[in-house]
Structure 1
């Protein structure tokens, strides 16, 4: 049922002319939305096209991966951002055209941008086994690169037509006289993202003082085999927490949710959630949670949290609260560490010795948590989730600069060399 609102969502929509027309047509059925349509012809124009509307738009929608990625990289957009994603549905439309008009096979056509798993799933659905000429990429690409890709295959006689997801590449290919088609979003693909935008706006308004953003990264080595399953699981997870999701890249997703929902499943940001439907992918993902009073602040914290989780290894979750306190990792065990995101107190010391301010901040938090200035390399390694040899390097560096002193030895339970006990004075 359509929700009636007095305050319509100011939705900035940037897209190529044909894609923008489709989005505008579909958006007419959503009275919650007031579109700010912005057309572009070349990717270099995008930052200047968007800039005048940054303060006006409450949310942003882009007509594809490339304009979305350019905006993320080049502009500080403090609003939720989405883009239309291509599914197998659009491929059906494009391929039917080429089959009907030219009698072509899949192997006669070159494609770009599309996710390999989307293409593979499409072919499996219709029972086709074929060579696929696909140039897939993450983030931004120049139209000239796509034009050269399609043009070279056509000139070599490998292909007889092309399907591109980038309008600027499509126009250049047309000028060259190559048979080509621009893959525009379908009505159902647009409806899906518009409903996602409306849902995201509602949940952010429900507690606008606290924005929660989660970044979920997948093991890059597993993209080919797990991408489709992971995509479906992340969407299910977003529904479970009454949130919404946007795929950022081939191996990364962003989830918007309310603080209460994430607080509940993580037991007040203290442990990883134990959800049965996450079981198949949890060992192949890392998760960063960021909380802030603005979307941009929450995203920045989520990025830091994801980087920290990635250094700890697959399966780890890290959270940065609105007060810039880092909880790393979320775990029910004693190894969880809480430390400040800002480590200005140790910047000068960091310059004097070969240890980062972040490492020194974590070390100070370990000592504070233990209530003692004494520990072994083995204990430090356990708290920081690093190898014992890395912990020994930290302690030896501190010792060399007069910040740590060996005060005794600890005999391990099993056979082995006694462990040195260090007293640390930061």
Structure 2
């Protein structure tokens, strides 16, 4: 199964990435182009289902950091390193015949330039370098500052060439008639970036499929009914250990997709409920960690709470008193517009988006959707038809059944899922 990577960047970066895509096996790329790096945040909110995000550099990464840190998929950017700077300076020296001290450079970390020159015993004074890392740290980034830096040096006659790491700056300097060159994106760096995104995405998916065991201590029939609803919500099988203790078996991905509101419904004001979940590379390890987590929940002063103990012995909790990052409820206005147009309830649409986030295959059948939503096949097909009629779902193929009967249609959700 291919790893699907969303690539966000300028037109030039996208072209460069396309040129090396066939050198990384088993990946599929979706491209999202911006004019300014600040637009990365908007593009992230338009992502179709994918396994990882690859950004063109530090600027789009930092502009969207608060948002992409909430995503369940890994996000990376192309790092400027010594290879990038060395390639750019070599191109300027060889093709332009320009001295180092007559070049101005903007980049994320000025120390990289010093590292390159020091490594080959070159002293170039003065060296015109603008470091924009401190602007990002203080949220003071201004595109015009970078343009003015190069423009001022050119007008004073101190430089013959500007090298910029920002494509929008390149376009503006070119428009002003200032000799300018884009920072090189070495093919090896692009390939390494895609390979890193693929590796981390595969690791993330393997983590999501990791064994998870839960223990829930309850004391009444009323709580038992809530337990059954909770087990449905996380797609868990339930085993009764004794009258007051139950074990749940599911995956780590099911737990990490859990919203705190769902967990809160398990607790009541009058009856104490303790919950402990454990992750592990095996059911045995997960079971052991779950028992330890349960002991913490039973001893906690909050009484009604849940703890999680990971395979690396990291204790998380108590939940729901500690807010989780994942949410099942989506209040984004665009969600309501789509729901209104398709005549589908926002709650059901939100569940379908959550389903798309959890589906590692990026395509599904009506049976898959029905199983996830805990509804009949007919109900799932009605929901699919409503969205399909407005282009929000499309048929991408057929799946042969193992029994007699017609092939089942394969669908793909055609709306952004990371509002």
TM-score normalised by length of structure 2: 0.48
Normalised by the size of structure 1, how large is the TM-score? Answer: 0.47
- Larger RCO: 1 or 2 (CA < 8 Å, sep 6+): 2
